[in-house]
């Protein structure tokens, strides 16, 4: 089958080697990066690809950590996985709603959300996502949002135990508008509690299977080396996820330091979507250099170096796991000159011989089962 390879702007794609994958940026992605895309008028869609039989990764937000990107090119961390036309959202950092809309995906069409951990760069857009899902679901007269004869929530938000705290806060926020909406006579609108539910993942392993997609969670090292046994009831807990789909498998590291658990989870996976962090650049080149003025710089350094992934560590894990492709997202720092991104990719490739892509917002990658 055809394989398309392309280098665009500050996105660095190396040669694709797997014959079952198609690199398929959309018109939306090209529009969003018009100033970075010198060849945007060339045909970019492989005609063999079909949205109905594909697994597509859409990077919605690729910025990690507290500094927001002053250029606006990178929103905070979130990724959409679309399998045979059904959407699965992984994390919901600030900007998730605007990126979904840019990608042509109304928020109300996303019914499954998977949070990796509680940090704000992965969750600050959750309330906005739920608000716009509910509001627009009603506005567009989606039957699931309108039919008051059924009360089973159909938007499910999965995550570690802290997710329920975030969820309850978002529901309280939504309850104010829900009262108003009823009062002005919309009448047919389902209440938020009939739309949204939270599902706490109680233990590592397979926790989701809808007949098409199977999702497995493991604890990573973002909050330290995990203890054996049941997961904590609340507090420091962070997941990596593996999605097995008919067209391929995708592993999301979430935020993590080097992790044997992730390496095992990613064994033989088609794609590893990994966070990446360079502490030195963060303290010298980024808008977020204020971190150097913190009263506890050594503690911060230790957190960044042990509980996040350098490009070299990603390369080692990817090689050991035998994944076919690495996509770097949650880029820290993500607001520096693109010349540094070339170095990120080169550093991963010191240890990993497969293709490596430095992600940018609205970049898409599709796998099509042949
Ligand atoms: Zn993060
Ligand atoms: Zn984090």
Query: Measured in angstroms, how far is the CA atom of residue 154 from the centroid of ligand 1?
Result: 27
**What pLDDT is stored for residue 8 in this prediction?**
33
**Of the candidates 24, 4, 1, the residue with the CA atom closest to the CA atom of residue 15:** 4
Lowest mean pLDDT among 20-24, 66-70, 77-81, 144-148: 20-24
Q: Domain range for residue 262?
A: 21-368
pLDDT for residue 61 is more than 90: yes
- Domain CATH for 249: 3.60.15.10
**What pLDDT is stored for residue 288 in this prediction?**
67
pLDDT for residue 228 is more than 70: no
**Of the candidates 153, 303, 166, the residue with the CA atom closest to the CA atom of residue 234:** 166
Query: Measured in angstroms, how far is the CA atom of residue 115 from the centroid of ligand 2?
Result: 11
Residue 136 host element (H or E):
helix 126-139
In a domain, 62, yes or no: yes
Query: Measured in angstroms, how far is the CA atom of residue 119 from the centroid of ligand 2?
Result: 5
For the segment 328-348, the average pLDDT, to the nearest whole number, is 92
Query: Measured in angstroms, how far is the CA atom of residue 79 from the centroid of ligand 1?
Result: 13
Query: Measured in angstroms, how far is the CA atom of residue 204 from the centroid of ligand 2?
Result: 18
Ligand with minimal distance to 121 CA: 1
Ligand with minimal distance to 119 CA: 2
Query: Measured in angstroms, how far is the CA atom of residue 160 from the centroid of ligand 2?
Result: 13
**What pLDDT is stored for residue 57 in this prediction?**
97
Higher pLDDT, 202 or 61: 61
In a domain, 8, yes or no: no
In a domain, 3, yes or no: no
What single string gives the DSSP state of each residue in 257-293?
SS-HHHHHHTTT-SEEEEEEE-HHHHHHTSTTGGGGG
| Distance (Å) of CA 143 to CA 16, 108, 190, 195 | 41, 11, 10, 12
**What pLDDT is stored for residue 287 in this prediction?**
73
pLDDT for residue 12 is more than 50: no
- What whole-number distance in Å separates Cα of residue 289 and Cα of residue 275? 19
Phi, psi for residue 206 in degrees, rounded to 5: -75, 125
**What pLDDT is stored for residue 285 in this prediction?**
80
Query: Measured in angstroms, how far is the CA atom of residue 245 from the centroid of ligand 2?
Result: 26
Q: By the 8 A CB rule, do 93 and 121 touch?
A: yes
Lowest mean pLDDT among 116-125, 286-295, 310-319: 286-295
**Structural domains counted in the chain:** 1
- What whole-number distance in Å separates Cα of residue 54 and Cα of residue 215? 17
> Which tens digit of pLDDT belongs to each residue from 65-74?
887 888 889 9
Q: Confidence band (pLDDT; 50, 70, 90) for 235? A: low
Query: Measured in angstroms, how far is the CA atom of residue 276 from the centroid of ligand 2?
Result: 12
- What whole-number distance in Å separates Cα of residue 195 and Cα of residue 189? 10
Q: Confidence band (pLDDT; 50, 70, 90) for 182? A: low
Higher pLDDT, 137 or 273: 273
In a domain, 12, yes or no: no
pLDDT for residue 171 is more than 60: yes
In a domain, 257, yes or no: yes
In a domain, 169, yes or no: yes
CB atoms within 10 A of CB 19: 9
Query: Measured in angstroms, how far is the CA atom of residue 240 from the centroid of ligand 1?
Result: 12
For the segment 356-365, the average pLDDT, to the nearest whole number, is 96
Averaged pLDDT score across all residues of the chain: 83
**What pLDDT is stored for residue 43 in this prediction?**
38
pLDDT for residue 9 is more than 50: no
Query: Measured in angstroms, how far is the CA atom of residue 69 from the centroid of ligand 1?
Result: 14
> Which tens digit of pLDDT belongs to each residue from 310-327?
999 999 999 999 999 999
Query: Measured in angstroms, how far is the CA atom of residue 43 from the centroid of ligand 2?
Result: 38
DSSP code of 51?
G
Query: Measured in angstroms, how far is the CA atom of residue 117 from the centroid of ligand 2?
Result: 7
In a domain, 291, yes or no: yes
**What pLDDT is stored for residue 248 in this prediction?**
96
In a domain, 196, yes or no: yes
Query: Measured in angstroms, how far is the CA atom of residue 343 from the centroid of ligand 2?
Result: 23
């Amino acid at each position: 089958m055809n394989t398309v390879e392309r280098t665009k702007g500050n996105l660095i794609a190396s040669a694709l080697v797997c014959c079952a994958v198609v690199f398929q940026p959309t018109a939306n992605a090209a529009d969003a990066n018009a100033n970075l895309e010198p060849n945007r008028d060339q045909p970019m869609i492989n005609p063999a690809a079909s949205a109905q039989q594909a697994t597509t990764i859409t990077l919605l937000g690729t910025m990690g950590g507290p500094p927001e990107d002053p250029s606006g090119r990178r929103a905070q961390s979130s990724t959409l996985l679309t399998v045979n036309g059904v959407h699965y959202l992984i994390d919901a950092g600030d900007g998730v709603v605007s990126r979904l809309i840019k990608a042509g995906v109304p928020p109300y069409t996303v019914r499954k959300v998977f949070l990796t951990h509680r940090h704000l760069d992965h969750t600050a857009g959750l309330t906005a996502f739920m608000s716009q899902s509910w509001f627009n679901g009603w506005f567009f007269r989606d039957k699931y949002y309108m039919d008051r004869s059924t009360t089973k929530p159909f938007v499910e938000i999965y995550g570690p135990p802290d997710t329920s705290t975030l969820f309850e806060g978002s529901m309280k926020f939504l309850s104010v508008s829900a009262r108003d909406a009823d009062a002005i006579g919309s009448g047919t609108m389902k209440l938020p509690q009939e739309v949204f539910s939270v599902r706490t993942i109680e233990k590592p392993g397979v926790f989701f299977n809808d007949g098409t997609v199977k999702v497995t969670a493991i604890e990573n090292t973002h909050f330290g080396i995990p203890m054996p046994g049941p997961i904590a009831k609340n507090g420091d807990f962070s997941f990596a996820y593996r999605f097995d789909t008919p067209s391929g498998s995708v592993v999301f590291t979430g935020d993590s330091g080097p992790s044997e658990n992730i390496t095992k989870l990613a064994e033989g996976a088609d794609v590893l979507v990994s966070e990446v962090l360079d502490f030195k650049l963060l303290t010298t080149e980024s808008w977020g250099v204020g971190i150097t003025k913190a009263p506890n710089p050594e503690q911060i350094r230790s957190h960044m170096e042990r509980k996040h992934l350098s490009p070299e560590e990603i390369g080692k894990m990817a090689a050991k796991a035998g994944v076919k492709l690495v996509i770097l997202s949650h880029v820290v720092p993500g607001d520096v000159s693109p010349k540094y991104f070339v170095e990120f990719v080169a550093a991963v490739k010191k240890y990993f011989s497969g293709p490596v892509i430095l992600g940018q917002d609205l970049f898409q990658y599709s796998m099509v089962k042949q």
